[in-house]
Structure 1
């Protein structure tokens, strides 16, 4: 009986894996076409590269959303080929929340990123697209438990130009089977907030002709500390850090 059960599980798992491989090939083709037309530099009155880039980006987005909705196990799948070709995937520490981000290749120095969110609600795995006005790509997700509820501390970057970027910490949670992108967990002087962000301009006069210190967000997982750079009113990026530590209920400035 154990042998039969094992064989059934092996076949089911193998079939699932092969199914994903086939679907990933379709996704990869659509993704590759979007990238191809975005970088197309040929000349022809009959070719509208930007329209084609938008078309295949839309096809890829719909395919990805369809496949991850149809296959809940994708929340733990690595999508190696797509990641190699530019898809950014970050997953929470508990494996229950994932964000897919990719450059739609339609911007100039200001980059535009599409995103799909995937999350577990009990035994169900659900998916959601974020509004197009959020142009950031996500780089990290960490988990924090407050009041017996899991919150997700995400990090993202918006590329506004070759020298200007916006960095953000945003809190998510899953409430009543829905993804809550307005969950609050950061205590500031003006109230309990959903996010912390700052703009970094390496081309500003105060940062020119000198070595600019690392201005990325740093999260200390062990001590649950969010550290962001101190940027002065004139735009100068300093090596000093502003830190918020999780104190059991909220992140609070230390």
Structure 2
């Protein structure tokens, strides 16, 4: 390649990167403005302002449409830190290989049973896709609080930690397995062996007041140890309180199976 062509090529790449950097800022600013309207209308809803509930529902629809459009139209968003959105209490988790990302947030449309939405963004080949999951009258959508990446040979699995809030007392935590297969996101990977057969997820219900006095970062929860290929779940007693004991599921080469501590 001649020197002039090299310079033009480098300049073109720089302009392209700079252009996207500017676009990324504009995208986040637009998303943040739309996202902040959720809490705004929720605040007015709680005050009893006429029409606030309808406006909140519309604001959710607008935000969801914008997020899905941006994450599909601009593939590089899958690596954007979106720091301002995180500060505004949107949870964003990205897989270790950079091919899968979960966006999770509260819609403020629930009561003591809290409502959430999730957008799953993933890359397959040169294409970036997005799937939106929202709570409905028939389907409850939890929020995600962590994401692990697990490789087994040529296969890559994503282990999402999710949480449900059903009242001020009744909550749950679980782990769900995803994989990108044949150009699609498979959210029904049955890789956990239980007494009732192979399952896609594990979860437990518990009394929130059994952990309310424990700092969030110290509360027992589900974790995954990639080195030992082990899922670790807190044991809940008959009263619904989380104990200091754990249940272990270790990967045996085919699936996760319960083992003794």
TM over 0.5: yes
SS, match of residue 130 in structure 1:
strand
Indicate if the aligned counterparts of 1:146 and 1:250 stay in contact, CA closer than 8 A: no
Q: 140-149 or 191-200, which moves further after superposition?
A: 140-149
| 1:232 positional shift | 2.4
**Inter-CA distance 109–18: structure 2 relative to 1 (3 Å threshold):** same
Q: 56-65 or 2-11, which moves further after superposition?
A: 2-11
Q: Tell me, which stretches of 5 or more residues in structure 2 are unaligned?
A: none
- After TM superposition, the score normalised by the length of structure 1 is 0.90
Q: 145-154 or 180-189, which moves further after superposition?
A: 145-154
- Equivalenced residues, count: 249
CA distance in 1, matches of 2:48, 2:237: 47
Q: Tell me, which stretches of 5 or more residues in structure 1 are unaligned?
A: none
| 1:88 positional shift | 0.9
CA distance in 1, matches of 2:176, 2:90: 21
Q: Counterpart of 2:30? A: 26
Indicate if the aligned counterparts of 1:154 and 1:171 stay in contact, CA closer than 8 A: yes
Q: Counterpart of 1:98? A: 101
1:155 has 2:198 as partner: no
Q: 210-219 or 243-252, which moves further after superposition?
A: 210-219
Aligned pairs for 1:41-190 (under 5 A) are 41-42=46-47, 47-132=50-135, 133-146=139-152, 148-190=154-196
CA distance in 2, matches of 1:211, 1:12: 48
1:5 to 4, 9, 30: 9
Indicate if the aligned counterparts of 1:154 and 1:169 stay in contact, CA closer than 8 A: yes
Poorly superposed stretches of 4+, deviation over 4 Å: 41-44, 210-213
